[in-house]
Amino acid sequence: MQEAQKQIRVMTVDDHPALREGIAAIVELQNDMVMVGEASNGAEAVAAFNNLRPDVTLMDLQMPGMGGIEAMAAIRKESRNARIIVLTTYDGDAQAAQAIKAGASGYLLKNTLRKQLLDTIRAVHAGQRYIPPEIAQEIAFHAADDPLSTREIDILKLVADGNANKAIAWQLSVAEDTVKAHLKSIFTKLDVNDRTRAVTTALRRGIITL
């Protein structure tokens, strides 16, 4: 009984069952860890966290319904000491910064899980933080950037969906000149010259997702 109390209680949240099963298999091989539960989306994660109170939660970001950012915010609102590690395929600095702001203690890319998962769980459980050096560098590089406004992000998403300025203006109930002004601001903030580069840059950095 005393040995079980010392184990790190882990919960995993991801909409892909195969990934949850793979992580569980890795965790269960460790003497100092135990998998106590799992969830397939953000809403399930919040409910499961409240019931299980895991020591460390592994959280995907892109899930149907409530995503990882919203789930982290909800969990941290109820438990300020919740320790959450983001697991994602996206290495964009904007998304990483958003996750950290929402309360993530760690940030791992899924293609590095075999090498870094266990060490990161132990580090976060011990009160440390972990962000891959390359992502931390990108966050620092863009820290002084003027962020896109909510309306600019909405317009950029519509551009990414293939909408022309006139269609965007109609959908947002604004003048076409207003859309053009927002796009000019977006280009300046992202340091690009055209719509295509604006979309690709925003996708790479995690400002928008498809």
pLDDT tens per residue across span 84-98? 999 998 888 988 998
Inside any domain, residue 210? no
Q: In this structure, what are the phi and psi dihedrals at residue 8, rounded to the nearest 5 degrees? A: -80, 120
Do 135 and 167 fall within a single domain? Answer: no
The pLDDT value given to residue 1: 38
Give the H/E segment covering residue 164.
none
Domain edge (last residue) among 124, 141, 158:
141
Do 63 and 135 fall within a single domain? Answer: yes
Give the H/E segment covering residue 35.
strand 33-39
Do 94 and 46 fall within a single domain? Answer: yes
Q: CA-CA distance, 115 to 130, in Å (whole number)?
A: 14
pLDDT tens per residue across span 100-143? 999 999 999 998 888 899 999 999 999 999 998 989 998 888 88
Which CATH number characterizes residue 126's domain?
A: 3.40.50.2300
Give the H/E segment covering residue 171.
helix 165-172
pLDDT tens per residue across span 6-51? 899 999 999 999 999 999 999 999 999 999 999 999 999 999 999 9
The pLDDT value given to residue 5: 54
Inside any domain, residue 89? yes
**What residues make up the domain containing 198?**
150-205
Do 189 and 116 fall within a single domain? Answer: no
pLDDT tens per residue across span 50-79? 999 999 999 999 898 898 999 999 999 989
